Amino acid sequence: MKIMQLHVDYVEYEPIQPEAGIYEEAERKIHRIEEALLLLTSIEKDDDRLLAVKAMDDAAAFMEKLKIPRLVIYPYAHLSTDLAPPTHAMEIFNAMKERARTLGLNFHAAPFGWNKRLVISVKGHPLAEQLKSYTAEAAARSSEEVPQALLLEEKLESYWHVLTPGGEMIPVEKFDFSGHENLEAFAKYEMQKSRAVLEQPPHVSLMKRLEIADHEPASDPGNVRWYAKGRLIKSLLEEYVTKKVIEYGGIELETPIMYDMEHPALRKYLHKFPARQYVIPTEDKKYFLRFAACFGQFLIARDMQLSYRHLPLWLYELTRYSFRREKSGELAGLKRLRAFTMPDVHALCKDLEQAKEEMKRRLKLSLEVMEGIGFDRDYLEMAIRFTKDFYEENKDFIFELVRIFGKPVLAEMWSERYFYFVLKWEFNFVDCQRKAAALSTDQIDVENARSYGITYVNESGEEAYPIILHCSPSGAIERVIYALLEKAELVRMRGGKPMLSTWLSPTQVRIIPVRSKYIPDCIELIEEFERNRIRVDVDDRDETVDKRIRDAETEWIPYIVVYGEREKKSGILSVRIRAEDRIEFMKPEDLITRIREETKDKPFKELPLPKLLSRRPSFR
């Protein structure tokens, strides 16, 4: 049983229509309940009446503690992939209602089996949102060690401002967000500190329809299967980010994914990083799966012979994979996963001044990476987080970062240092639901060199501890794909045509013969494109031309060529250009030149599927 427990100012729902064969009778009207504890509840296959009793007892205790007058039990299937059959689920919901009645709770139960419109207003206190898991697995985890950083993160007091390129620091409640609506949405999302997912983001249906990826039901939630097109997109992004880091000076390494929990340096770092770990017990030890490349790179750096002449030194790994045991209620398509691919580049710097100069370089690198992927500054919002002391001593540097970004940024100031860093910045993408996700990031780490015993010999011949910068120029690759799909949906909502950049489109050119007799000519044309490193396929299916054009449009193909007698005789192609929503007549070599210009500084991989669509399987 999974329950998203929310302390709400109000909850309002309206039954629209039954969505299952088994459903309760309900009035089709708006129901509104004020000041309540809302339980969004998913019943799973192995749930029994004892769990129903336990859930109600816990809810009653919480209501007593916070003096909440009303309870709302709400069937909500979106918290689990292991749902019980409808008959069993309804039995457990009835058991919950029976227990609530026995306890004398003032409760309301939303009808089971209906599609419902839902509006809620969640309170802002730290206990207002909690995900509860009533399983044997959850009971085992109840004694699990939680990183101190996670506990501190929930308690820390933040002061929020907006920093401007002109050098102003304005309390967020006094800033005029006119013309900065995305920044305003981002600020609200960050200050609420809520990561709960209550409705499916648009990119989830897109990643399935486009045959990019889907969750793997045989694995832990938050693990993804990548289909051929998705694997191509993901590998192109991995190669592009790695190329940019190597050009910057990164030294590529590879490190293990599993580490000893009792290693003294690692154990301390675990408690300084706000992430939940996967723990693997063996006969005599516990290991954890890494959540970044930090562990391996720091252990390598500790064993290196370093001089000030070597610094700054850049160590890089594309971690496939990193792991974080995120709460199941926070998992959302590709936005937040438990296993993800993270480009991770650390810089060892001899002192803070060198670290600040290096951070400015890395900020520019990250902007280049983001723009190359498809996100200019219009699609990014920047956050800078720092301690009060660091701000007072380094104001000019902080505002220089803002000036490099070129527009106002959200600033979070902490009264004291809770983590291992004194400053971090992030680029954030605001999606279709007006929620945000961090992409690129960098941090100034003043603690881990000492914790790991990483030293270098300074100009005086003495051992010294470097400052470490932690940067991901793109953020997790999976999250980049989430943002690309959400961006495409935003374009569609504004009246444009959703698409991926040509270099990331699995098929860059689709050729549609008007009759089967032109298929050999189309195959010959394929060879000309392939010689120029362009991914092309032929829709040779026995469908109408209009149907095949519509299918190509649905796949977001950047260039669609309809080929018939006129094209064969003239050598001039009729090309539908998706980005411009028009048809242009051009020679094959002109189309090739256009595509090569669009993709000239980007990696290329061959089409991973049969070139004839009649031989291509569907992954949906």
pLDDT digits 0-9 by tens, 60-104: 999 998 899 999 999 998 888 889 888 889 889 999 999 999 899
Query: What does the angle CA 43 – CA 45 – CA 46 come to, to the nearest 5 degrees?
Result: 100
Amino acid at 468: I
* Residues 456 and 348: beta-carbon distance below 8 Å: yes
- 463-517 pLDDT, tens digit per residue, is 999 999 999 999 999 999 999 999 999 999 999 999 999 999 999 999 999 999 9
DSSP bridge partners of 43: none
> How far is it, in rounded angstroms, from Cα 79 to Cα 249?
43
Going along the chain from its start, the domains and CATH numbers come out as: 2-143 (3.50.80.10), 201-257+291-487 (3.30.930.10), 502-615 (3.40.50.800)
Residue of 123, 11, 16 whose CA lies nearest to 74: 11
pTM (2 decimals)?
A: 0.77
Q: What is the pLDDT of residue 142?
A: 43
- Per DSSP, what are the bridge partners of residue 342? 319
Instruction: Give residue 357's identity as a one-letter amino acid code.
Output: E
pLDDT tens by residue, 424-439:
999 999 999 899 999 9
Name which of 222, 205, 203, 206 is nearest 432 in CA terms. 203
Supply 367's token pair: 């902007």
The label of the residue with tokens 């302390």 reads: 7
Q: Cβ of 199: how many Cβ atoms within 10 Å?
A: 9
| pLDDT given at position 24 | 87
Under the phi-then-psi rule, with left for phi > 0, alpha for psi from -120 to 50, and beta for the rest, what region is 195? alpha
**Distance between CA atoms of 139 and 137, rounded to whole angstroms?**
5
Q: Which residue has the tokens 């008007």?
A: 514
Complete DSSP assignment for 199-227? S--HHHHHHHHTTSEEE-TTS-TT-EEE-
pLDDT value, residue 18 = 87
Q: What is the mean pLDDT of residues 345-364?
A: 97
Note the pLDDT of residue 588.
96
Distance CA 496, CA 581 (A): 9
Q: What is the mean pLDDT of the chain?
A: 91
